[in-house]
């Protein structure tokens, strides 16, 4: 079927954006690029392939199915699952070497039990311990981190490759937003300390998405997880203006453009409303 609308992906712009991120983040912080939802619609396989050519070997995905598709396409880099999966997906999780986020004794116990059945020898399988520092989604509370790390550490096959959290207001520059982000940062540090006090290595510590990656180098920890900026968009205009005000040398190019054919042109008088819910009203004859 012939389609009138087309999406164009600009590989050079994608490469440029990744290099811009690498430049602003620096050599001491790893990158885990978010390629969930087919790379935000920009083709996950293409994004991963270009990023791999630039030395990046970790990618964040949202579902087990996304990871399987990338594996079948030949992506061998580490794929970190940012959401939980159900027991029916455990076999694929281990078979395709998909690194899960874990939290709660019940979930960890299920993974330990399955790993004991899946692995025949002394193979080790990486997991990242998720901490809920204020987002209210997945993750254990900071004061629970040590005990859950101990549970993982005592298992035969699982090991803590990383410890992570996610911010609720990191793209905001209001005093309230910054204050809450700082509260989350302190909670994350407490969780890491809790794990260390158990004599356990928390592994790769990571908490920052796009906004943190380009505005808060002080809290990059070991790795950041840029998403939307990879594809040429700032988290919001406020972030873009903030970078300018701080003279931070950072620039992005759009990775996708959409083209379509015009099938009709309508003329409306001032005051005419358009679409469901009267979404838009003409200010002038249009």
| CATH fold of the domain at 6-261 | TIM Barrel (3.20.20)
Per-residue pLDDT of the chain (286 residues; tens, 9 = 90+): 678 899 999 999 999 999 999 999 999 999 999 999 999 999 999 999 999 999 999 999 999 999 999 999 999 999 999 999 999 999 999 999 999 999 999 999 999 999 999 999 999 999 999 999 999 999 999 999 999 999 999 999 999 999 999 998 887 667 788 899 999 999 999 999 999 999 999 999 999 999 999 988 899 999 999 999 999 999 888 888 888 888 888 999 999 999 999 989 999 999 999 999 999 999 999 9
Position 145 scores a pLDDT of: 97
pLDDT at residue 220, as a whole number = 95
Look up tokens 């990656």; give the residue. Answer: 213
Domain range list for the chain = 6-261
Give the global pTM: 0.91
Q: Which residues are catalytic?
A: 36, 276
């Amino acid at each position: 079927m012939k389609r009138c609308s087309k999406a164009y992906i600009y590989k050079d712009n994608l490469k440029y954006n990744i290099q811009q991120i690498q430049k602003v983040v620096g050599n001491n912080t790893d990158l885990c690029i978010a390629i969930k939802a087919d790379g935000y619609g920009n083709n996950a396989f293409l994004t991963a392939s270009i990023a791999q050519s630039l030395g990046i070997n970790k990618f964040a995905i949202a579902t087990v199915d996304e990871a399987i598709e990338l594996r079948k396409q030949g992506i061998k880099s580490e794929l970190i699952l940012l959401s939980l999966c159900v027991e029916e997906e455990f076999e694929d999780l281990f078979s395709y070497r998909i690194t899960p986020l874990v939290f709660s004794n019940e979930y960890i116990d299920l993974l330990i039990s399955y790993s004991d059945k899946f692995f025949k020898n002394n193979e080790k399988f990486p997991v990242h311990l998720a901490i809920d520092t204020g987002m209210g989604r997945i993750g254990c509370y900071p004061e629970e981190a040590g005990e859950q790390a101990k549970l993982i550490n005592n298992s035969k096959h699982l090991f803590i490759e990383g410890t992570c959290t996610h911010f609720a207001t990191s793209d905001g520059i209001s005093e309230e937003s910054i204050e809450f982000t700082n509260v989350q940062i302190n909670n994350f540090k407490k969780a890491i300390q809790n794990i260390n006090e158990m004599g356990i290595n928390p592994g790769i510590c990571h908490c920052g998405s796009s906004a943190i990656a380009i505005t808060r180098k002080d809290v990059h920890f070991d790795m950041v997880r840029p998403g939307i900026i990879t594809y040429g968009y700032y988290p919001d205009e406020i972030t873009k203006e903030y970078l300018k005000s701080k003279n931070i040398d950072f620039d992005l190019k759009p990775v996708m453009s959409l083209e379509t054919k015009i099938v009709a042109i309508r003329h409306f008088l001032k005051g005419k409303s358009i679409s469901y819910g009267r979404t838009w009203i003409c200010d002038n004859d249009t």
